[in-house]
Structure formats: C-alpha cells, structure tokens
Amino acid sequence: MKPERGWVRLPSGRRLNLIDPRPDAWQDKDLAISLSRTYRWGGHSIWDAPLSVAQHSLLVLILRQQMQPHQPLTQGEALRELLHDADEGLLGFDPITPLKPHLGAEFHAVVSQLRAAVASRYNLPPWSSEDYLLHKRADHTAAASEALHVAGWSAEEIRDTLNVRLSPAAVDPLPLLPGHRPWQPWTPRSAAALFLAKLRELVQGTHLEAPADLTAVAAREVTIASLGAAFSRMPIEQRIRCSTPATGDSLSDTYVFVETQDISQQHCEGVIVDGVRDDHGEWLLDDQFTVFTTEHEFIRISGWGCDVEIQ
C-alpha cells in the first residue's frame, strides 16, 4: 500500500507536496537551503565536506556564460542555468547517473512534475536545441571539474568510466571564500546564502549586464558579516530596542535596499532589526520597520512610503 502523505515540511514551515507540487509551495530560501544540503557525487569527496548542488548550480551558470563572454545571458537564460537542478533540492536527492535508469517511471514522473513547477514559478523559457547543447557542455565541464578536484577521479577515469570527453577546468571560476581553497566545497550556509542572493538578483532583474557574475553577492556576504560585528559593538540601550539583532549571518538577517518615493529620493541599505512579521515569519515591508544601516545608524522606515527590495 502506498503511503497517503507525499509532502515534506520545508524550513519555512510550508508543505511541499512532491506528488502534486504547486509553484507557490516553497519560498526561495527553502529552495536555497535544500540545494545546499543536497550533495553531488553521492556525498563522496576528497575534502572534509561534500559538494552541494547549490554550489554546482552556480558553477554551471558561470561556465555557461564563459562560453559566450561577450553575449550576456538573458534573465530567463541565467535563471534556467541556475535552476537546472532545482528539482533535486526540492526532492532532497541527487542520484548518481548510473542509478537513474533503475529508479522507475514513477520516480521520473515525480521529477518531471517538480521541474514543471520550477519552470512555472520562475517563468523559465523552454530549451532550444542550441541552448540545451550549450547547457550540457557547461554541465559536463562542471562534472569533469568536480570529478577531478572534488570527488578524486583521475583524468583517465573521467574519460573512460564517466565517458566525459570535455577537459576539466584548471582554475576554479567561483569566488574564493575567506578561509577556503580553490574547488573546496562550501559549507551549507555559505552555499545557500550565495545561491539565494544570486537567485534574488536574477528574479529582481538586477546586474543583468553580467548575470553570471558573483562579485556583488560575495560582497554582500562580507557587508552583512561586518554589520553583525558592528551591531554587537553598539550601546546596549540601542540594541535592546531591536526585536531581532543583526547576527552577521545572511540566512538569518534580511538585507534590504530602501528608497523613498518622494521627491527627495533618499535611500539607505542595511539589515532589518525590528518590525512586524507575517504568519510565515517574513517581515511586512509595507509596515514600519527599523534598519541598521551600512552607516551604522538605526533608521525607522515607513514601508508604505518607500520602495523596498530584499537584496
């Protein structure tokens, strides 16, 4: 007898029905966290930690753009590359390639439905034959590189056992995180944070002149960490008035850019430290809230009079 329950509880508290997934069933943060905890290569690694699908997805995005460096990917194309394995995060399972033919029609039906929900949620354009070939070249280059630098396969094994004819990349194109070495798997929190920041950039349509560039999202992580340190040094009488202290962790802190809608066009950016939340724990950005800014000031914002973007 098949079990009646086909849903999973996500970090946000929402429920995702894996048998009949709705495109609005998850938050972007749920997807980022899930992908950061779903591992490539069966979780095997020559490093102390396995490689996440979140990190792999960012690698594929960069490699795909490098194939046509003078022709920036469109918003839809970049999202399609970033989210090409999103179903694996929602499912929480990335089976190794030789296992996939043995998993049966029902498993593949579940995967197809998840992919359709992702495509609908993010309005992904369908693959053309040319685009798909370029994507697979980027994906296979990423696989060859990961096999060599992360999973410990030799060049001969990559060619003869994995049947990948593309050469592994010698230089890691991903940003070098503090305390990390090239090709080293990121921690789940770092992978989720960078994936989420890039996803939000693409969804909001920012930095589309360089859609695969991770410079801005890496700099954002440094900024949020510095805000957490600065907040901890503020006078106690100011900190205790904040319901949610800045922690320096981008998965906990909500970093926003705020611009007034009046003629002054004033703006600020920083992390929200006080305000009203909805039933899902998200800040109500059309209400009043307080931002601890990059100038290390506490500013009370009237959300209904401003444009507010979560960065």
Mean per-residue pLDDT for 96-122?
Answer: 85
Compare 205 and 174 and report the one with higher pLDDT.
174
In a domain, 154, yes or no: yes
What whole-number distance in Å separates Cα of residue 26 and Cα of residue 31? 7
Question: What residues contact 64, with CB distance under 8 A and at least 6 apart?
Answer: 73, 81, 134, 135, 138, 212
Confidence check: pLDDT of 111 > 80: yes
pLDDT of residue 187: 94
In the chain, what percentage of residues exceed pLDDT 90?
Answer: 62
In a domain, 142, yes or no: yes
Distances (CA, A) of 5 to 23, 91, 112, 114, 115: 19, 14, 19, 17, 20
Q: Tell me, what CATH number does 63's domain have?
A: 1.10.3210.10
Q: Which token pair is 24?
A: 């609005």
Q: Nearest to residue 309, comparing CAs of 220, 239, 191?
A: 220
Over residues 36-50, mean pLDDT: 94
Query: Chain centroid to CA 36: how far?
Result: 8
Q: How confident is the model at residue 6 (pLDDT cuts 50, 70, 90)?
A: confident
pLDDT digit string, tens, across residues 183-198? 999 999 999 999 999 9
Looking at the structure, do residues 150 and 289 belong to the same domain, yes or no? no
In a domain, 44, yes or no: yes
Mean pLDDT (whole number) for 274-297: 87
Distance between CA atoms of 141 and 28, rounded to whole angstroms? Answer: 27
pTM: 0.89
What average pLDDT score do residues 31-53 get? 95
Higher local confidence (pLDDT), 156 or 4: 156
| 297 in a structural domain | yes
Is the pLDDT confidence value at 2 over 70?
no
**57 contacts 51 by C-beta, under 8 angstroms:** no
The pLDDT of residue 263 is above 60: no
Range of the domain at 246: 236-310
Output phi, psi for 8, to 5 deg: -120, 150
**Mean pLDDT (the chain, rounded):** 90
Mean pLDDT of 170-187: 94
Same domain (yes/no): 46, 105 = yes
Decide if pLDDT at 1 tops 60. Answer: no
Instruction: Give the pLDDT confidence of 128-158 residue by residue, as tens digits.
Output: 999 999 999 999 999 999 999 999 999 999 9
- φ/ψ of 76, rounded to 5, equals -65, -40
Mark whether 167 and 249 lie in a shared domain: no
Question: What does the angle CA 229 – CA 233 – CA 239 come to, to the nearest 5 degrees?
Answer: 100
Q: Is the pLDDT confidence value at 296 over 90? A: yes
Domain end (from 206, 222, 250): 206
Q: What is the arithmetic mean of pLDDT over 104-125? A: 90
Domain count, the chain: 2
Residues 93 and 191 in one domain: yes
Q: Tell me whether residue 269 is in a domain.
A: yes
**pLDDT tens track for 62-97:** 999 999 999 999 999 999 999 999 999 998 877 777
How big, in percent rounded to 5, are the helix, strand and coil portions of the chain? Answer: 45, 15, 45
As a whole number of angstroms, the distance between CA 185 and CA 175 comes to 12
Residue 284: pLDDT band with limits 50, 70, 90: confident
Amino acid 179 reads G
Q: Looking at the predicted structure, is the pLDDT value of residue 29 above 70?
A: yes
Q: Within this chain, do residues 68 and 165 fall inside the same structural domain, yes or no?
A: yes
Same structural domain, 179 and 130: yes
215-223, Cβ contacts within 8 angstroms, sequence gap of 24 or more: 215/175, 218/175, 218/177, 218/194, 220/250, 220/255, 220/311, 221/190, 221/193, 221/194, 221/197, 221/250, 223/255, 223/294
Q: With contact defined as beta carbons under 8 Å apart, do 292 and 246 qualify?
A: yes
Percent above pLDDT 70 for the chain: 97
- Burial of residue 145 (number of CB atoms within 10 Å: 0-12, 13-18, 19+): buried
In angstroms, rounded to a whole number, what is the distance separating the alpha carbons of residues 219 and 233? 22
Query: What SS3 class is residue 28?
Result: helix
Place of tokens 């046509």: 68
**Residue 262: per-residue pLDDT:** 63
Residues 127 and 176 in one domain: yes
> 240: domain CATH number?
2.30.30
Task: Please name the residues in contact with 122: beta carbons below 8 A apart, sequence gap of 6 or more.
Answer: 79, 83, 203
The answer on 272 and 153 residing in a single domain is no
Q: How is residue 158 written in tokens?
A: 């990559």
What pLDDT, in 10s, does the model give residues 235-247?
Answer: 999 999 899 999 9
pLDDT at residue 57 is higher than 70: yes
